[in-house]
Structure 1
Amino acid sequence: MIIINTSVKGKKYRVSIAFLLIVAVVVVFFIFKSEVKSEPLASVEVFNDIDFKSNNADVDGHKKEFKNTLDEHLTELKLSNDEKTLILTALENSVFERIPNANTSDGDYLINISLNKRYEIYLDSTNKQLIFANEHDNDSNHRYYKFTNDSGLFKLLEESTKETLDK
């Protein structure tokens, strides 16, 4: 003779556990989905407290070049005021997506932007990535960004580097 436990209390307990497991799976799914497919971000969402209308605007920087695999050379960007304005405008109009990590440790450009405060960023033109040199510049804990639209920023930087090397 088999005795089947048909107590109501036991069934409610199993249903509650099953419900909690389903809710947990749904929550984990939505968290994973939001991390994998991020929403487009504007520059003001990526940079901490940036004010592109600041009167103290300035841009300078360097391009890394490798003469051979061991010799790294920095070429200073000599930017005119018009080029600085175009670079800031392109950066302001750029669109980003958050990525889990950068494909590179540093980019091929180290850019210093002075507006309402100073921002130091590495730009990787190959992977179209932005990496902050100082984490407090974007209130992040190792967050990395990929340009989905660079608004011509990398083309401007490449042209200004070419002009510097031609001089």
Structure 2
Amino acid sequence: WPQLAASQILGWQFLRIFGLQARAGAAIAAARAEPSTAEPKLEAALEHARTLEATGDRRHDLVAAVAVIRAGVAAVRGHKTTALEHLDRAILSFEAAEMKLHAACARRRRGEHTGGSQGARMVDDADVAIARLGVLRPDRWAEIYAPGL
């Protein structure tokens, strides 16, 4: 990361958003994998979300990225209702940005957390949408776009 920052490539907004989202996602996935050391990793993920928010940019893709990060942190902490609220925000923002694959991944994760027959339908519908976009393993793709959930 320091080498990327020194290269000035993170001055490009798209790459800065992508980089911070990737770092946050990795922190969330690591926190879920190692619950005994989760909290510092979750705080790091939230710091990346705050950095994205501090830009003041309200673009739909950025709002969605922050919502996915916050949903992942909430899920790892066991705050299901909060995670679902953030996922709903992410879905709406991804749809507004016409980011179909990202929206479908967030809908899949929401279905997983909703549970029951309604949740299973949401997962199935999302899997169909993701597969239509050429993805062979929707479950793995959703884990990439929305880790920790």
TM over 0.5: no
By percentage of residues, which structure has more strand?
1
- The TM tier, using the shorter chain, reads under 0.3
Bigger Rg over Cα: 1
Give the TM-score normalised by structure 2.
0.24
By percentage of residues, which structure has more helix?
2
